[in-house]
């Protein structure tokens, strides 16, 4: 069932830049949309993290950090990451949009592939992973769903969402990230991952391409996990008789249960794959699997053909090959255990960032649904007719993101393949559905939220203000107001909530703690006591300071924290006799004392003769010390 119409993001523009046109796919961590970068006027894929995960700050930071790292891969067989951002509750990645299908789609349609097609897909996947492994990353979720086959023939690896730094490989303690059918035994047993888990997953994917089935199956995930731990992946030739032994050995190396027996990384497996290809004759590479031969007899028009890749593309501007040709394969010799020379070649190819493509053509019975989003009804019908397609029916639904009378959705979606004489369901926008803003004044906040949501509106910003006539916690006003015009569905309504009547906070500094507490609680305020006492001029046991300043307006129930005094700090008094009175004053005031100068009548001397607190004794900080000058 198409849930695009129920998706609140479809039709919205994130960060004022990315207009979301349609949902492509949904996974465990994120949903992927087709979107338009309105600034650069290009189509891209927008991967939006599920809001429940976006609420986890640590997860979001890791997601962003790893996305930036993957963006630096810049390999022709890796789906490029263009941008990252956050818009309200939505954390997203803007990525390259690949028009085409996934390997999973191809396997559903074809079942087992010819060896040539399987290797044509496997090799660019390993090239992409090899670049990632050399950059220090592990994909950890390799599966057919994450292998994209573009309309231009390029194979790309997608969804590095579970990627981790090789240097940061640790035990996942309690959960296993990845898809159960492609997990390596060490992932299941202890959660430890390195580049060899990607090698294992690619071996399983190769087995699936060669046989049309997964090697381990069961009625529940536990049975599949048990088989990964205790049973070797069987040779593909056990399912498809006649498959060459070189392919059996390739799968066996990649899926060895002991990681030490596997190639160290994807570059190593790529070397084995190229060497295995070199050992196969043309007839072996193009052998048609049994189910494909049956399909030729029963439904030839549905079959997808494979065009053999040339050794070198013609030197022409019209050549569709998007990558350099592979070098001539080495002469067939020992089995794929001898691969040293080839690995050197592979290393050079990877260093150059080589990519390979696989070409698929239809038999002429299929066509693509044109992208009709935003077109008028007349334009949509005209374009469908030009493509040889009909209109199955016209649906009309409300939409806040598409203008009234324009196409908001098609089934199948734009870009999807459809039989040439088939028909398309077109959904036309009726424009935004409008509703009245309910009157929630005087209602408790939670009740107001429920009423707004039930009306089809969204809760906006909630602020608080004092009110003489609205009870604390209830709504004072809304914006838009209830008596205004009707609003489109999902319009955000801001709410002002009452803090109740204001309370004037009195000064309780210097008062005994019990007396201060009684005064504040009598006004409806909560009183808390700071865990530590401080020295202050106030006597011990009285309030040294209060967290809410005197004269401030507060709401009933607000907390005021009181800090209790330990009394003044005792400071040793220096001996200032014999000093000039001005110098003595500065010395004493610098220590926190108040100073009084007592000068006898008719005395012309400024020299201190005595002091009220003798030098060497202690006095309370802030207390007054009297100094007396010499008389006649």
Measured from the Cβ of residue 161, the count of other Cβ atoms closer than 10 Å reads 21
Local structure of 348: helix, strand or coil: helix
Give the mean pLDDT of 422-439.
88
Q: Are strands 137-138 and 164-165 parallel, antiparallel or unpaired?
A: antiparallel
Least confident stretch, 190-194, 320-324, 360-364: 320-324
Decide yes or no: CATH 3.30.10.20 for domain 434-497: yes
**pLDDT score, position 545:** 93
According to CATH, where is 3.30.10.20 located in the chain?
366-428, 434-497, 503-564, 570-629
**pLDDT score, position 136:** 85
Among positive and negative, which fits the CA dihedral 408, 414, 416, 418?
positive
Would you put residue 338 in left (φ > 0), alpha (ψ -120 to 50) or beta?
A: beta
Give the mean pLDDT of 578-599.
93
Distance CA 117, CA 485 (A): 61
Q: Which of 141, 159, 194, 558 is catalytic?
A: 141
Quick one: tokens of 1? 């069932």
562 in Cβ contact with 593 (< 8 Å) = no
Distance CA 401, CA 414 (A): 17
* pLDDT class of 508 with cuts at 50, 70, 90: very high
- What share of the chain in percent tops pLDDT 90? 50
Give the mean pLDDT of 227-247.
94
**pLDDT score, position 189:** 85
- Which long-range contacts (C-beta less than 8 Å, at least 24 apart) are formed by 31-34? 31/7, 33/9, 34/97
Please, what CATH class does the domain formed by 102-311+335-363 belong to?
mainly alpha
Q: Which residue has the tokens 């190819």?
A: 349
Give the mean pLDDT of 357-375.
64
Distance CA 183, CA 434 (A): 50
Q: Which residues, 6 or more positions from 64, have their beta carbon under 8 angstroms from its beta carbon?
A: 84, 91
* pLDDT class of 459 with cuts at 50, 70, 90: confident
Q: Is the pLDDT of residue 11 over 50?
A: yes
Q: For the segment 541-554, what is each residue's pLDDT rounded down to a tens digit? A: 999 999 999 999 99
**pLDDT score, position 333:** 55
Count how many Cα atoms sit within 13 Å of the Cα of residue 33 in the half-sphere of its side chain.
27
Give the mean pLDDT of 394-415.
84
Q: Which residue has the tokens 């202690």?
A: 618
Please, what CATH class does the domain formed by 503-564 belong to?
alpha beta
Q: For the segment 118-169, what is each residue's pLDDT rounded down to a tens digit? A: 999 999 999 999 998 988 888 888 999 999 998 878 899 987 754 444 443 4
Among positive and negative, which fits the CA dihedral 447, 451, 456, 457?
negative
391 in Cβ contact with 423 (< 8 Å) = yes
Q: Is the pLDDT of residue 14 over 90?
A: yes
Prior bond to 438 cis, omega within 30?
Answer: no
92 in Cβ contact with 19 (< 8 Å) = no
612 in Cβ contact with 625 (< 8 Å) = yes
* Of 167 and 245, more confident: 245
Among positive and negative, which fits the CA dihedral 462, 463, 466, 472?
positive
538 in Cβ contact with 509 (< 8 Å) = yes
Q: Is the pLDDT of residue 495 over 90?
A: yes
Q: Which residues, 6 or more positions from 352, have their beta carbon under 8 angstroms from its beta carbon?
A: 324
Q: Is 141 a catalytic residue?
A: yes
Q: Is the pLDDT of residue 335 over 70?
A: no
437 in Cβ contact with 455 (< 8 Å) = yes
Q: Which residue has the tokens 């004092």?
A: 466
* Of 367 and 540, more confident: 540
CA 559 to chain centre: 38
Least confident stretch, 205-219, 355-369, 447-461, 567-581: 355-369
Give the mean pLDDT of 436-446.
94
Among positive and negative, which fits the CA dihedral 359, 362, 364, 367?
negative
Q: For the segment 52-93, what is each residue's pLDDT rounded down to a tens digit? A: 777 777 777 777 776 777 777 788 899 988 888 888 888 899
1-97 CATH:
3.30.200.20
Prior bond to 89 cis, omega within 30?
Answer: no
Q: Name the nearest CA neighbour of 99 among 20, 142, 153.
A: 153
Give the mean pLDDT of 172-177.
40
**pLDDT score, position 243:** 95
**pLDDT score, position 297:** 33
Give the architecture-level CATH label for domain 570-629: 2-Layer Sandwich (3.30)
Local structure of 568: helix, strand or coil: coil
From 3.30.420.40, 3.90.420.10, 3.30.10.20, 2.60.120.10, which CATH number describes the 366-428 domain? 3.30.10.20
Can you give the length of the chain in residues? Answer: 632
* Of 348 and 228, more confident: 228
Distance CA 460, CA 415 (A): 37
Distinct helix (H) and strand (E) counts, the chain: 16, 33
Backbone angles phi, psi at 480, to 5 degrees: -70, 155
Q: Which residue has the tokens 């220096």?
A: 574
559 in Cβ contact with 593 (< 8 Å) = no
* pLDDT class of 368 with cuts at 50, 70, 90: confident
Q: Is the pLDDT of residue 315 over 70?
A: no
Distance CA 612, CA 614 (A): 6
Q: Is the pLDDT of residue 259 over 50?
A: yes
Q: Is the pLDDT of residue 574 over 60?
A: yes
* Of 27 and 311, more confident: 27
DSSP string, 443-512: SBHHHHHHHHHHTT-EEEEEEEE--SSS-TTBEEEEES-TTS--EETT-EEEEEEE--SEEEPPP-TTSB
* Of 357 and 558, more confident: 558
Give the mean pLDDT of 369-388.
89
Q: The sheet that has 407-411: what strands, in order across it?
A: 390-397, 423-429, 407-411
Local structure of 239: helix, strand or coil: coil
407 in Cβ contact with 377 (< 8 Å) = yes
**pLDDT score, position 476:** 95
* pLDDT class of 366 with cuts at 50, 70, 90: low
Q: Are strands 543-546 and 570-572 parallel, antiparallel or unpaired?
A: unpaired
**pLDDT score, position 314:** 32
- What share of the chain in percent tops pLDDT 70? 83
Backbone angles phi, psi at 587, to 5 degrees: -65, -45
Q: Is the pLDDT of residue 365 over 60?
A: no
Question: Residues of 72-90 as b/e, b for ≥16 C-beta within 10 angstroms?
Answer: ebebbbbbbbebbeebeeb
* pLDDT class of 530 with cuts at 50, 70, 90: very high
How confident is the prediction for the chain on average, in pLDDT?
82
**E strands of 189-304, at which residues?**
none
Q: Is the pLDDT of residue 349 over 60?
A: no
Angle at 565 between CA 567 and CA 536, to 5 degrees: 60
């Amino acid at each position: 069932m198409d849930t695009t119409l129920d998706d609140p993001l479809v039709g919205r523009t994130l960060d004022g830049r990315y207009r979301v046109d349609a949902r492509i796919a949904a996974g465990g961590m994120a949903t992927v949309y087709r979107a338009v970068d309105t600034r650069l006027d290009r189509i891209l894929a927008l991967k939006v993290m599920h809001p429940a995960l976006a609420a986890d700050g640590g997860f979001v930071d890791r997601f962003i950090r790893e996305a930036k790292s993957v963006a630096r891969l810049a390999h022709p067989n890796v789906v490029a990451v263009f941008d990252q951002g956050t818009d309200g509750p939505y954390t997203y990645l803007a990525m390259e949009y690949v028009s085409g299908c996934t390997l999973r789609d191809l396997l559903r349609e074809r079942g087992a592939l010819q060896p040539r097609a399987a290797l044509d897909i496997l090799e660019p996947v390993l090239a992409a992973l090899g670049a990632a492994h050399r950059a220090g990353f592990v994909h950890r979720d390799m599966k057919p769903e994450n292998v994209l086959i573009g309309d231009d023939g390029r194979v790309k690896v997608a969804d590095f969402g579970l990627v981790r730094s090789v240097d940061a490989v640790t035990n996942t303690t309690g959960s296993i990230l990845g898809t159960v059918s492609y997990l390596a035994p060490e992932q299941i047993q202890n959660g430890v991952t390195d580049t060899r888990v990607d090698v294992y997953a690619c071996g399983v994917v190769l087995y699936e391409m060669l046989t049309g089935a997964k090697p381990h199956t069961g009625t529940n995930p536990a049975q599949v996990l048990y088989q990964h731990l205790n049973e070797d992946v069987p040779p593909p030739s056990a399912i498809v008789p006649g498959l060459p032994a070189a392919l059996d050995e390739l799968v066996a190396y990649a899926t060895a249960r002991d990681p030490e027996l596997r190639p160290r990384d994807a570059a190593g497996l790529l070397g084995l794959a190229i060497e295995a290809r070199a050992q196969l004759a043309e007839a072996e590479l193009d052998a048609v699997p049994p189910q494909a031969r049956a399909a030729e007899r029963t439904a030839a028009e549905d079959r997808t053909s494979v065009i053999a890749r040339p050794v070198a593309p013609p030197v022409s501007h019209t050549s569709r090959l998007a990558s350099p040709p592979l070098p001539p394969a080495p002469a067939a010799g020992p089995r794929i255990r001898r691969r040293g020379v080839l690995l050197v070649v592979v290393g050079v190819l990877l260093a150059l960032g080589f990519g390979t493509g696989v070409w698929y053509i239809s038999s002429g019975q299929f066509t693509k649904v044109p992208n009709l989003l935003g077109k008028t009804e007349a334009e949509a019908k005209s374009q469908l007719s030009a493509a040889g397609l009909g209109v199955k029916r016209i649906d009309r639904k409300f939409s806040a993101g598409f203008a009234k009378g324009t196409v908001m959705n098609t089934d199948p979606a734009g870009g999807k393949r459809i039989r040439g004489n088939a028909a398309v369901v077109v959904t036309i926008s009726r424009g935004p559905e409008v509703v009245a803003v309910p009157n929630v004044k005087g209602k408790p906040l939670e009740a107001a939220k429920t009423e707004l949501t039930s009306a089809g509106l969204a809760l906006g910003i909630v602020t608080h203000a004092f009110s003489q006539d609205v009870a604390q916690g209830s709504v004072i006003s809304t914006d838009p107001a209830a008596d205004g015009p009707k609003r489109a569905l999902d319009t955000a309504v801001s709410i002002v909530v009452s803090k109740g009547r204001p309370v004037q906070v009195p000064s309780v500094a210097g008062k005994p703690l019990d007396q201060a507490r009684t005064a504040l609680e009598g006004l409806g305020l909560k009183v808390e006591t700071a865990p530590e006492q401080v020295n202050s001029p106030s006597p011990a046991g009285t309030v040294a300071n209060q967290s809410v300043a005197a004269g401030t307006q507060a709401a009933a129930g607000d907390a005021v924290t009181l800090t209790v005094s330990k009394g003044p700090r005792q400071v040793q008094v220096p001996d200032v006799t014999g000093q000039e009175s001005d110098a003595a004053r500065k010395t004493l005031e610098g220590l926190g004392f108040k100073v009084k100068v007592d000068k006898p009548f008719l005395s012309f001397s400024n020299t201190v003769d005595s002091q009220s607190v003798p030098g060497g004794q202690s006095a309370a900080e802030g207390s007054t010390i009297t100094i007396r000058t010499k008389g006649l």
